[in-house]
Amino acid sequence: MTQIRSVVLGCGAYLPGQVVTNAQLAERIDTSDEWIVQRTGIRERHIAAEGEFTSHLAIKAAQAALTDAGIDAQSIELIVLATSTPDNTFPATAVAVQHGLGITHGAAFDLQAVCSGFVFALATADNFLRTGAYKRALVIGAETFSRILDWNDRGTCVLFGDGAGAIVLEAQEQPGNAASDRGVLTTHLRSDGRHKAKLFVDGGPSSTQTVGHLRMEGREVFKHAVGMITDVIVDAFNATGLNAESIDWFVPHQANKRIIDASAHKLHIAPQKVVLTVDRHGNTSAASIPLALSVARKDGRIKRGDLVLLEAMGGGFTWGSALVRW
| Cβ 141 vs Cβ 83: under 8 Å | yes
The whole-chain average pLDDT of the chain stands at 97
Active-site residue 105, yes or no?
no
| Burial grade of 263 (CB within 10 A; 0-12, 13-18, 19 or more) | buried
Active-site residue 243, yes or no?
no
Q: Per-residue pLDDT tens for 158-206?
A: 999 999 999 999 999 999 999 999 999 999 999 999 999 999 999 999 9
Give the amino acid at 303: K
Residue 319's DSSP bridge partners are 190, 313
One-character DSSP codes across 246-258: G-SEEEE--S-HH
Residue of 115, 188, 213, 256 marked catalytic: 115
Q: Per-residue pLDDT tens for 224-271?
A: 999 999 999 999 999 999 999 999 999 999 999 999 999 999 999 999
Angstrom distance (rounded) from CA 312 to CA 141 = 12
| Sign of the four-CA dihedral 170, 171, 172, 177 | positive
Residue of 188, 195, 213, 253 marked catalytic: 253
Q: Per-residue pLDDT tens for 109-134?
A: 999 999 999 999 999 999 999 999 99
| Cβ 43 vs Cβ 68: under 8 Å | no
208 C-beta neighbours (distance < 10 Å), count: 11
